[in-house]
Chain A
Amino acid sequence: AQSVTQLGSHVSVSEGALVLLRCNYSSSVPPYLFWYVQYPNQGLQLLLKYTSAATLVKGINGFEAEFKKSETSFHLTKPSAHMSDAAEYFCAVSPHNTDKLIFGTGTRLQVFP
């Protein structure tokens, strides 16, 4: 079964530092890939998605992710962290020709002043 693995359940950065959240997928055929963000006591909202068009995908709030087939990765980055970025981030995969979205275990991002 296709899945995603998020390396690091917690990531801490200083305000203004680079944010890098890692996600690797397992699939012989590149699936659709997503990053979602969850703020405290809220539901998830879509940050960005990869659906086999451009490999560098830009999302909301200055985040972007690059699809690398050779590394089976879809890491999320932001050049400069802001305090408001503190949240939990989920990578997710939607295998082709299915109606399911499979989530990773999540990475909690802390931003220190």
Chain B
Amino acid sequence: NAGVTQTPKFQVLKTGQSMTLQCAQDMNHEYMSWYRQDPGMGLRLIHYSVGAGITDQGEVPNGYNVSRSTTEDFPLRLLSAAPSQTSVYFCASSPPGTANTGELFFGEGSRLTVL
């Protein structure tokens, strides 16, 4: 049981490049989400999904796209990276029936630097 797995752990991009951060969970969790963590700002919700085929925006969705074609995977896409997207990104999931009670299981994070 691997939990929530994020890849890559580290990535350096140039401004304007695109990339996808991968997130997979093997716990049959319906709810999945992406956060970014920046110094002094805590974690901010980017996008979330309550099940396959359903996604919604969080607090800071601009510049990011998501899709949820399977229960297991929830990739985060940066179409044209900007230096303001330099951050640590966390994927988190929640067991069935607990999406609105905030019990999240987090991955170990992906550190992205945009030059």
Contact = CB atoms under 8 A, between A and B. Distances in A.
Interface of A: 9, 32, 34, 36, 41-46, 49, 51, 90, 92-94, 96-106
B27 to A, nearest CB: 14
Contacts, number: 64
Contacts of A41: 108-109
Interface stretch (B41-49, B61-69, B73-81): B41-49
Contacts of B53: none
Contact of A9 (B33, B40, B58, B107): B40
A105 B108 CA distance: 19
- 3 tightest A-B CB contacts, nearest first: A43-B106, A94-B102, A105-B42
Size bracket of the B interface: 20 to 34
A18 B41 CA distance: 26
Given A43-B90, A43-B109, A105-B40, 8 more contacts: A43-B106, A46-B103, A90-B42, A92-B102, A99-B56, A103-B42, A103-B44, A104-B42
A27 B31 CA distance: 24
A93 B108 CA distance: 22
Contact of B106 (A44, A51, A93, A106): A44
A101 B102 CA distance: 6
Contacts of A102: 45, 59
A99 B106 contact: no
A93 B58 CA distance: 14
A69 to B, nearest CB: 18
Interface in B1-37: 4, 31, 33, 35
